[in-house]
Structure 1
């Protein structure tokens, strides 16, 4: 990635501020916008075969890239407003998954692990 998430968050803050949109960028509104954009991303893959989904036609690739940009924008803005470090959250989730899904027990399996016990 060429721009880190903190730089993107600052750019998004500036973008919203320049347009006086901060009042619209509530966590609720951003989550709803994020869900809509994820739906648009899903629609790009909905009727593709697994093979087609791994080698997108150029026009589809461009639309997917644009939708991923939208999803990222809303996700980064939401995390910034809530004070959540996205990379830290992703690493914490991966740490949890590593504990839940022992590589030797789950290699090649799509089965779900039982919840972790404290």
Structure 2
């Protein structure tokens, strides 16, 4: 994850965008990119969307992650650590049912 984060931040910094990317704007961008991802599925089954727009789906997923990594960096959040903590919390909240 650290290598990916470094590449994303280098791309941003090489273009001088680090001063323009404020937390509010990054959060808005995450939602906008997630909406673009969702648009691939509108009026289609999941299977149709995956078959028809797979490349665009992958690119929109990448856009969401890119903005999320930048937001985490800006807020000094260890995203990988927070994901593990959230999985642990969800594991307690939603335990595996025995016999299913």
TM-score category, normalised to shorter length:
0.7 to 0.9
Following TM superposition, the consecutive aligned residue runs of length 4 or more in structure 1 with deviations greater than 2 angstroms are 50-53
- 1:24 Cα deviation (Å)? 0.9
Matched, 1:9 2:5: yes
Q: Distance in 2 between matches of 1:34 and 1:24?
A: 15
TM-score scaled by length of structure 2: 0.86
Q: Distance in 2 between matches of 1:20 and 1:75?
A: 18
Name stretches of at least 5 consecutive residues in structure 2 with no aligned partner.
Answer: none
Matched, 1:45 2:38: no
1:101 aligned partner: 94
Structure with the greater alpha carbon radius of gyration: 1
- 1:84 Cα deviation (Å)? 1.2
- 1:102 Cα deviation (Å)? 2.2
TM-score scaled by length of structure 1: 0.74
Deviation by residue 1:54-96 (Cα, 9 ceiling, x = unmatched): xx22x50001011011011111111112121222111111111
